A and B are shown apart, each in its own frame.
Chain A
Amino acid sequence: MDLKEKLISSFWAFENHQDEDTYLHNIRTEAIKTFENHGFPTKKEEAWKYTSLNSILKNDYSVFPKQENTIEYNDVKKYFIHDIDTYKIVFIDGKYASHLSQTTHDGMDICLMSSALSKPKYRILVENYFNKIAKKDSLTSLNTAFSNEGAYIHIPKNKMVAKPIQIIHFSTGNESATMLQPRNLIVVDENSHLQIIERHQSLTVNPVLTNSVTELYINKRAIVDYYKIQNDTLDASLIDNTYINQKQESICSVHTFSFGGKLTRNNLNFYQHGEGINSILKGVSIIGDKQHVDHNTLVHHTEPNCESHQDYKGVFGENSTGVFNGKIIVNKEAQKTNAFQSNKNILISDKATINTKPQLEIFADDVKCSHGCTIGQLDENALFYLRSRGIPEKEAKALLMYAFSNNVLNSVKIPEIKQRINKIIANKLGVNIGFDL
């Protein structure tokens, strides 16, 4: 039985154990049918031309992982941003880990998807927002079919959430490969501010495949900063499907730091509905080995006077592969749109590959749109400059790669995240250059 068949038969076993809930049952069964019809995406599809899932789909994943291990906080502390006070929603093998979490219902809901889906008091929100902006593509549908756990966050209006929220998924599978389908729903009402840090971390040498879906609704004048830290092991793969709906004058930034993992695919979709919206998409990828990172972005401008800024930097070593596929759609009504996109890459190995593909579909006539992509090597002259100061070649290259990706870090608003990313970069580049980058 291949993975697709296994998932479908597991679904029916799973769905039969759920409570009688026609609303969700219908959504899930429709979703599994979509997945059944389309199957996993292949390279024949334009959006998957440069990313093949074949190598990660051949594992015999357990679809309903048992939580085999408990984790002590001290053993995993390093994966948290622990030097500041935060809310935490932590999962181990897809199950909520209360002893590692800090949730709240005090004036806002920072809690679990499983409660939101099952408790009547959340039903209106679920009916208004759950699975509304998520695409009905096969991977998202697969997640929808199995969706029962993840983070549920609802911030009512006029609320400055002082502490960032960390959403962390650990996997520990002892004996077999594990497949996870986390599902997050985040609703931020008018004028509220929220910061989120998301991380998926494998603690096992067995393969892990995470197919994550996040729906994020940002209402009028709300501000959301989302940080995705991807530094997983070489046996862990992540398909991240994030859908963001922005209303009038809201601001949303998503920073994606991709340093680890076997295969990482980021499907990041912004839908603007209202005027004066700003969407910010930033990314740094630094990979080597046989790693693969694919950023697939969409920004859809539908109304006038909005902005979007995309800035992705990539450093690719050894046999790694990078993909950037950035799509901007500007509807006819969306006059005075400012949409910018930049993708700059450095290949530091002859065997590394980058495929970069901007796609602009502009139907309005009074807009400013620009895109640019570059692929290059490290600047020899800059390298000579650093080495002439006594800095050895390896360290000099690391400094230049750091400098190259630095402007993406500048817009990170939480200093502790910036420090953490700098440390990961220094580690990744294998250098100790005498100061914390």
Chain B
Amino acid sequence: MLKIKNLHASVEDKSILKGINLEIKPGEVHAIMGPNGSGKSTLASVIAGKEDYEVTDGDIFFEGQDINELATEERAHKGIFLSFQYPVEIPGVSVTNFMKTAINETRKAKGLEDMPAKDMLKLIREKAELLEIDRKFLSRSLNEGFSGGEKKRNEIFQMAMLEPKLAILDETDSGLDIDALRIVANGVNKLKSKDNAVLVITHYQRLLDYIVPDFVHVLYNGRIVKSGTKELAHELEEKGYDWIKEEVNA
């Protein structure tokens, strides 16, 4: 589904990703872990197509197509979703209206008619239930005055609404208490199928107890320096990242 080859990316001439190779197949859950500043969020943004980052070398293929030249929204239309670490507040635009716009713009891009209002409401109700989101919450302005946990839950709600093929969760666990974490993870797990994939980006192993990865990769200094199974995450939790750094630097 996603194939990244020798990806180099920089921002304002500062090289951040220095040769990433990663392949994600349908049905898989991958986790990328690593110390602060290793390039985790940059990788997420580059896959989603943030314009501040310049891809200086390498390729990103999504379902066999080179997506490097595609705009952010075109990647979204193809089924790439990024759950933000810091979701942006949009005053005056309710969660419901925001989702209507996102869904109908995606449908428009695919040559489909707007979703009938009745179906939209039904879909919103279903997905809100899945994430235990109160109806009143949906008429509030997007992310405005939301707690950290509400913002993250709302990100996963958007993911549920948009039903992406590849969901990238960037530090979705930060700022979540244990109950919110369980609800969010539960939502992600229920949305998982053999046809879609999840890329979890996290500093801590905590979330991976709930969203169990098939593969764990360690990102350090712009490269994936170690890959393994979920046991690797436990090892990192116990021993920290220093031993990885030592191994790499040795």
Q: Do A and B come from one complex?
A: yes
- Say yes or no: B73 contacts A409, CB within 8 Å: no
Measured in the bound complex, the distance between the Cα atoms of B45 and A384 in whole Å is 9
* A289, chain B: closest CB distance, angstroms: 25
Which residues of A have CB within 8 Å of B82? 388
* A266, chain B: closest CB distance, angstroms: 24
| Most chain A CB neighbours (cut-off 10 Å) among B48, B77, B88, B101 | B101
- 9-residue interface stretch from B92-100, B225-233, B240-248: B92-100
B50 partner, pick from A384, A400, A410, beta carbons under 8 A: A384
B105 partner, pick from A380, A385, A395, beta carbons under 8 A: A395
A388 partner, pick from B52, B81, B93, B109, beta carbons under 8 A: B81
| Most chain B CB neighbours (cut-off 10 Å) among A388, A389, A390, A434 | A390
B96 nearest in chain A by CB position: A435
- Say yes or no: B90 contacts A379, CB within 8 Å: no
* B57 in the interface (beta carbon within 8 A): no
- Say yes or no: A434 contacts B114, CB within 8 Å: yes
* B72, chain A: closest CB distance, angstroms: 4
* A406 in the interface (beta carbon within 8 A): yes
- Say yes or no: A390 contacts B90, CB within 8 Å: no
- Say yes or no: B101 contacts A406, CB within 8 Å: no
B107 nearest in chain A by CB position: A390
* B51 in the interface (beta carbon within 8 A): yes
- What is the number of residues of chain B that contact chain A, defined by CB distance less than 8 Å? 35
Measured in the bound complex, the distance between the Cα atoms of B93 and A402 in whole Å is 9
Interface size class of A (residues with CB under 8 A): 20 to 34
Measured in the bound complex, the distance between the Cα atoms of B76 and A382 in whole Å is 15
Measured in the bound complex, the distance between the Cα atoms of B109 and A395 in whole Å is 13
- Say yes or no: B101 contacts A387, CB within 8 Å: no
- Say yes or no: A434 contacts B100, CB within 8 Å: yes
Measured in the bound complex, the distance between the Cα atoms of B109 and A396 in whole Å is 15
- Say yes or no: B102 contacts A389, CB within 8 Å: yes
A391 partner, pick from B51, B52, B102, beta carbons under 8 A: B102
- Say yes or no: A384 contacts B102, CB within 8 Å: no
Which residues of A have CB within 8 Å of B158? 389
Measured in the bound complex, the distance between the Cα atoms of B45 and A400 in whole Å is 20
* B33, chain A: closest CB distance, angstroms: 23
The proximity string for B residues 48-76 relative to A, scoring 1 for CB distances below 8 Å and 0 otherwise, is: 11111000000000000000000111011
Measured in the bound complex, the distance between the Cα atoms of B109 and A407 in whole Å is 32
A389 partner, pick from B50, B91, B162, beta carbons under 8 A: B162
Which residues of B have CB within 8 Å of A437? 92-93
- A391-B102, A403-B90, A409-B92 as given contacts; A384 in contact with B109, CB under 8 Å: no
* A365 in the interface (beta carbon within 8 A): no
* A5 in the interface (beta carbon within 8 A): no
* B104 in the interface (beta carbon within 8 A): yes
| Most chain B CB neighbours (cut-off 10 Å) among A385, A389, A396 | A389
B83 nearest in chain A by CB position: A388
- Say yes or no: B90 contacts A388, CB within 8 Å: no
Measured in the bound complex, the distance between the Cα atoms of B105 and A433 in whole Å is 8
* B233, chain A: closest CB distance, angstroms: 26
B88 partner, pick from A382, A402, A409, beta carbons under 8 A: A382
- Say yes or no: A393 contacts B71, CB within 8 Å: yes
* B53, chain A: closest CB distance, angstroms: 10
Which residues of A have CB within 8 Å of B72? 384, 387-388
* B84 in the interface (beta carbon within 8 A): yes
Measured in the bound complex, the distance between the Cα atoms of B76 and A393 in whole Å is 12
- Say yes or no: B77 contacts A390, CB within 8 Å: yes
**What are 7 A-to-B residue pairs whose CB atoms are below 8 Å?**
A384-B50, A388-B75, A389-B102, A403-B90, A434-B101, A435-B97, A435-B101
Chain A contact residues, CB within 8 Å of chain B: 379-382, 384-393, 395-396, 399-400, 402-403, 406-407, 409-410, 433-435, 437
